[in-house]
A and B are shown apart, each in its own frame.
Chain A
């Protein structure tokens, strides 16, 4: 493929607070173009919050995030949370086409058709969202990554709910994306990806400290 990205990430002393609890603090790291960062940690360690912060949805309690990219465009991220953003009443094709067009793809019809082939939903194109299984919903969500080229992929357990075929498909998509210089940051349980950097969230869980005034 022709398009290639140059994007790197630098985090400086990042911290997140959820309600009254500090999830992690003092997180600093740097990622080069083409890296894959695998987030590991127990439930509640802040993997999802970390991804939401990188997606620009949640504000960090402290710290700095630097996306070192060529353009100043806001549209450089894909975020796949644990919810698949599926509308029950729209067909698979309609939903794919909406996202293609919303994400600024020129020929949304063509692009949606191709993407549905890639994720293996081509023969389900006319099924409404309510008729999809959990794995198929996830596949439909993945069409967003396929249709609109964006430098950063933020994935919350991308392999969850997928069968063996689907998991291979995601691994291939990620491999391709990295070859083009894209960044992938994924929260993972179970078997990970090849040559990934591992980030153990547990290392940044705050020690039992004196009561701070973070929230008051």
Chain B
């Protein structure tokens, strides 16, 4: 007999990857936005190297916001959340299962293409491991903070902007540390502290985000 949270997690993963789940859309957005960068800045390697890390991290933050609008809203609209809630399952567990499934479906692919985009933006090839670590922890933080906004805005039609408005200010620490680590590694400085702090942001978001998102979900059902 599986734990309900685990069951929900695997179902969400399947739904996200099946047709209409739209897990690949953020990846397309991320790649497209990063491709526009040299078109806007010009192809000069120096300039790309200077601007690239920052742009890579900002577009990662924005791409992470994309799946948030439907994260809880779809379940609220079709009655799934009612059935889940009435079954006695706890809301924190539901928020954790859904957010981590969507991170695995969209956030992980986003993190995996970050090193590719990094190399295209003239970042040093030896640094791809650090870039991957930055993108993984950054996207985790963005997803689990974004999920709070998603749960708060679940009952609002076209809640996407509301999610962006509530979540973006909270993205500041992860953005600062993640982009700093990228700049450090790009300029050959010590990136350890910044990367550790970015990971700390991710861990705090994963540990605390589901409680806030769960409380907000309960409110959305009321």
A interface, CB within 8 angstroms of B: 52, 55-59, 73-90, 94, 98-99, 101-106, 144, 154
Contacts and interface: CB of A to CB of B under 8 A. Distances in A.
Given A89-B20, A98-B11, A55 B86 contact: yes
A96 to B, nearest CB: 12
A91 B84 CA distance: 19
Interface in B66-106: 77-80, 82-89
A184 B18 CA distance: 36
B7 A58 contact: no
B21 A83 contact: no
Given A57-B85, A86-B78, 11 more contacts: A52-B82, A78-B86, A79-B82, A79-B83, A79-B86, A79-B87, A83-B82, A89-B20, A89-B21, A104-B1, A106-B1
Given A55-B82, A59-B222, A90-B18, A103 B1 contact: no
A46 to B, nearest CB: 14
B15 interface: yes
6 contacts: A55-B82, A75-B87, A81-B79, A81-B83, A85-B83, A86-B78
Contacts of B15: 87, 89-90
A75 B88 CA distance: 5
Contacts of B84: 102
Contact of B83 (A75, A90, A144): A144
Interface string B1-42: 110100110010011001111000000000000000000000
A94 B82 CA distance: 19
Nearest to B219: A59
Interface residues of B, number: 26
A-side binding surface: helix, strand, loop or mixed?
loop
B82 A58 contact: no
B221 interface: yes
Contacts of A86: 78
Nearest to B17: A89
A86 B86 CA distance: 16
A5 to B, nearest CB: 15
A40 B1 CA distance: 39
A89 B19 CA distance: 7
Contacts of A89: 15, 18-21
A74 B18 contact: no
Given A87-B80, A89-B21, A106-B1, A56 B222 contact: no
B87 A77 contact: yes
Nearest to A58: B222
A76 B79 contact: no
A102 B21 contact: no
A144 to B, nearest CB: 7
Contacts of B20: 88-89
Contacts of B8: 102
B22 to A, nearest CB: 11
Given A55-B82, A59-B222, A84-B79, A101 B7 contact: yes
Contacts of A55: 82, 85-86
B83 A58 contact: no
Nearest to A54: B86
A106 to B, nearest CB: 5
A54 B7 CA distance: 25
A85 B78 CA distance: 5
A144 B88 CA distance: 14
Contacts of B2: 101
A74 B88 contact: yes
A58 B220 CA distance: 10
